[in-house]
Amino acid sequence: MAACRFFDNRGVARARNAGLGNSTLLREYVTYLRVEKGLRPLSCEAYESDLLQFAEYLEKQSSTLLEATQVLITGFLEHLAKHSVESRSAARKLSCLRGFYRWLLIDKRIHRDPTLNLESPATWKVLPKSLAVTEVNSMLERAAVAADHPQADAIALRDRAILELLYAAGLRVSELTGLNVADLSLDAGRALVRGKGDKERIVPLGRASIDAIEQYLKNGRPALEKKPSPRLFLSARGVPLSRGWVWHLVKHSEHAASPHMLRHSCATHMVERGADLRTVQTLLGHADIATTQVYTHLALGRLKAVHREHHPRAKRVVV
């Protein structure tokens, strides 16, 4: 009995030490993401959440983050599938693990990356949902209608400018809420955007979005600004808009869309009209062309249509 108790206590102590080791490792990695990679707090929280979930799975398997093997990571992915986690979410978690173990390898804390040669879930390349052009136009028209509010006209102009930017420039929500008035160059038809990792890029603005922003700056924003603020979009109380508020605005629109759906709609409609993937990658701020390749089949569809229309050998000859 004493031997059994000793074994149990040792097992409990090992689990406790493993938990402490994982926590320390996660804190160091999140600090690395925030300080060296320059990721935003919400991105850091998402990475930490995914890694915590994996660490909890490992503890049940009597393992730790440093001891994880390819077999354990595969088991984790299978565990996610059994619990009906969508393949896109599972692929995101695997991407998070790849970055984590690459960091450990570079820091010489492990000798082999256990995520090497692991395939992402098969449906990782599924095209994100997007709206039809008519649906986007309908959403924009409804946003321009003033609501029952003392600052209704100003709010309507602001909402129209927000939706125009999300769709026309393909912005992320964090990029939109982080825009300053000084980031706009409307005469040149462009804006300076800060994306993931505080990477800056220049995005072009179409005529419709420029007109919407000009109307908002002239007749909307002055009515909302209670005290000087550098931010472009302000609430009715005069404070910068939050990410959650923008999600609420789009979610409660006629088509119950999401800000990211407008971003995907931007990319989808560009590719359908002949834009190449490199251009779309630059506009959206994707660090890797592989992220943009979910739109590949649209580009191929466009290529086939042009080929059928213009190539002399593409048309069947009726005898």
Asked whether residue 141 is domain-assigned, the answer is yes
Per-residue pLDDT tens digits for 91-129: 889 999 999 999 999 999 999 999 988 877 655 455 567
More confident residue, 128 or 239: 239
Tokens standing for residue 38: 């320059």
Output the domain CATH number for residue 24: 1.10.150.130
Tokens standing for residue 188: 């040149």
- Does the pTM of the predicted model rise above 0.85? no
Give the pLDDT mean for 1-5. 38
* Residue 227, domain extent: 133-257
State whether 28 and 119 are in the same domain.
yes
Strand blocks (E) in the chain: 184-185, 190-194, 200-204
Give the integer Cα–Cα distance in Å for 221 and 233: 8
Q: Which residues are the active-site residues?
A: 172, 196, 260, 263, 286, 295
Output the domain CATH number for residue 146: 1.10.443.10
Give the pLDDT mean for 133-149. 76
Band of residue 10 on the pLDDT scale cut at 50, 70, 90: very low
State whether 142 and 243 are in the same domain.
yes
State whether 158 and 63 are in the same domain.
no
Report the candidate in 24, 27, 18 with the shortest Cα–Cα distance to residue 45: 27
Is residue 231 predicted with pLDDT exceeding 80?
yes
